[in-house]
Each structure stands twice: as structure tokens, then as C-alpha cells.
Amino acid sequence: MADFPTSALPPERPAVLIFSSGPGSVETLEPILWGLEEEGIPALHTEVSNGPVELTAKQAADLSPLGVGIGIDPEIATAVLHHRDLPAGQPLFRVLDEAHRADKLRILGMNAARLVKGEPLVFWGGPRGCRQNHDVGPIPPEWELEALTQIVTGIVLGLQRAQAPNGETG
């Protein structure tokens, strides 16, 4: 289990906590900080001992006065966004080492800030000129995808019935 330096965290300073296992590389940390800064939310970066990046992110979220935390594991080039109310093994976003990484990390920082503010999240391929790529986004369980498919299908069929003459479907 990772060792989290709770004594080093000033409770009077609300911030999104960023825990990195080992020295966080500038290439990983800076874009995340830019995204948070664009949205006007402060962050506090702390190095912690090694541990699974999902656990690191969850601990950061649990300890943050804002309820949002980010974990970085430079060894596997992964950054994870977590929220206090989510189960430990189910982070909201995960960014792996791949093409357009800086853009995705900036969006990760923006989404951390937007979680704090209660604003809509930004998705890769969404606003602010981001290119289309579905590798970054929420990580829903499979049962949620099935439920979402059933809901959308029901809505589409309902709209078809409402627009068809005499309620006939086409």
C-alpha cells in the first residue's frame, strides 16, 4: 500500500490533489496543471511512495477538500482522475502514454476542475478544438453501456411513433 503524506497537506487550502509515485515528469504534470489553471482551480502536487495509480488517485480525491484527485505513475506513463464518491477501482478518466498525450492531459486537468465546479465535462473530440479520439473519456461499466443503449433505443422508437402518422412506425 502507498504511503500518503497527509501531514504535508494544508487543510485550509482547498485544491485538487495530484499524487505522483516518484518524480512526476514535466511532460505529464504541466499539461494537467494548465487544464486546472484554465478553469481557475488550484492544485497541489505531492510525491508519494509507489502504489497502483488508481489507488493513488483515489487517496488524492479522498484527502482533497474538493473531493477530486489525480494520480500519476511515471513508470507506466499513466494519469488517472478520481472522485471521492467513486469506488476505488473505478476512476473517471485514465490517460495512457500515446499520441496527443499533452492535449489529453490538459483535458484531464480541465475535467478535474469542472468536477469541482459542477460544470459539464470536456471530452476528447469535444469543445476547444480537440481532435476526435475516443481513447479518453469516462470508463463506464459494461452494464451501464447496455442500459444506455436500451434508453436511447426507447427514446428513438418513441420519437418515431410520435412523428409517424396515426402512430405507425416506419
CATH number at residue 125: 3.40.50.10150
Q: Label each residue of 97-126 as H, E or C.
A: CCCCHHHHHHHHHHHHHHHHHCCCCCCCCC
- Residue 10's φ and ψ, nearest 5 degrees, are -70, 115
Separation between Cα atoms, residue 141 and residue 146, nearest integer Å: 9
pLDDT digits (tens, 9 = 90+) for 97-127: 776 788 999 999 999 999 999 999 888 764 4
Amino acid identity of residue 129, one-letter, is G
Higher per-residue confidence, 34 vs 169:
34
Separation between Cα atoms, residue 144 and residue 109, nearest integer Å: 25
What pLDDT is stored for residue 106 in this prediction?
94
Higher per-residue confidence, 120 vs 159:
120
CB of 19 within 8 A of CB of 60?
yes
What pLDDT is stored for residue 166 in this prediction?
63
Confidence of residue 17 (pLDDT cuts 50, 70, 90): very high
Same domain, 13 and 85: yes
pLDDT digits (tens, 9 = 90+) for 146-155: 776 777 777 7
Same domain, 163 and 135: no
Partner residues linked to 94 by β-bridges: 80
3-state class of 16 per DSSP? strand
Separation between Cα atoms, residue 112 and residue 40, nearest integer Å: 11
Same domain, 10 and 93: yes
Same domain, 42 and 122: yes
Same domain, 151 and 131: no
Partner residues linked to 120 by β-bridges: none
pLDDT digits (tens, 9 = 90+) for 41-50: 999 999 988 7
Same domain, 151 and 170: yes
How high does pLDDT run on average in the chain? 79
Confidence of residue 138 (pLDDT cuts 50, 70, 90): low
Query: What is the radius of gyration, based on Cα positions, of the chain?
Result: 19
Same domain, 42 and 124: yes
What is the count of structural domains for the chain?
Answer: 2
Same domain, 160 and 128: no
Q: Is residue 124 part of a domain?
A: yes
Same domain, 20 and 72: yes
Exposed / middle / buried, residue 45 (Cβ in 10 Å: 0-12, 13-18, 19+):
middle
* pTM tops 0.75: no
What pLDDT is stored for residue 60 in this prediction?
95
What pLDDT is stored for residue 130 in this prediction?
41
Q: Is residue 1 part of a domain?
A: no
Same domain, 33 and 87: yes
Same domain, 56 and 75: yes
Same domain, 114 and 147: no
Q: Domain range for residue 166? A: 140-170
